[in-house]
Amino acid sequence: MEYLKNEQEKAAMRWMDEAAKIAKRALCHKANCGTVIVQNGQIIGEGYNAPPLDKEENRRCDEEFGPGKPKYDRTCCMHAEWRAIMDVLKKNPDKIAGSKLYFTRVDSSGKIKKSGKPYCTVCSRMALDVGISKFLLWHKEGIGEYPTDEYDRLSYDYRQS
Ligand SMILES: [Zn+2]
Ligand SMILES: [Zn+2]
What would the pLDDT profile of 3-46 be if each residue is shown by its tens digit? 999 999 999 999 999 999 999 999 999 999 999 999 999 999 99
Sign of the CA dihedral with 79 first, then 65, 122, and 160 last: positive
Identify the pLDDT of residue 64: 82
Closest to 2 (Cα-Cα) out of 143, 149, 153? 143
Contact predicate 127/101, CB 8 Å: yes
CA of 79 to the centre of ligand 2 (A): 5
- What are the extents of the domains in the chain? 2-157
CA of 100 to the centre of ligand 2 (A): 16
Closest to 119 (Cα-Cα) out of 133, 130, 106, 103? 103
Confidence of residue 72 (pLDDT cuts 50, 70, 90): low
The pLDDT of 58-76, averaged and rounded, is: 82
CA of 77 to the centre of ligand 2 (A): 10
CA of 9 to the centre of ligand 2 (A): 24
Cα–Cα distance, 30 to 94 (Å, whole number): 33
Identify the pLDDT of residue 22: 98
Instruction: For ligand 2, an ion, list residues with CB under 5 A.
Output: 79, 120, 122-123
Identify the pLDDT of residue 69: 78
Question: Which ligand minimizes its atom distance to the CA of 62?
Answer: 1
Alpha helices for the chain (secondary structure H): 6-23, 80-91, 121-130, 148-157
Which architecture characterizes domain 2-157 according to CATH? 3-Layer(aba) Sandwich (3.40)
The pLDDT of 111-127, averaged and rounded, is: 96
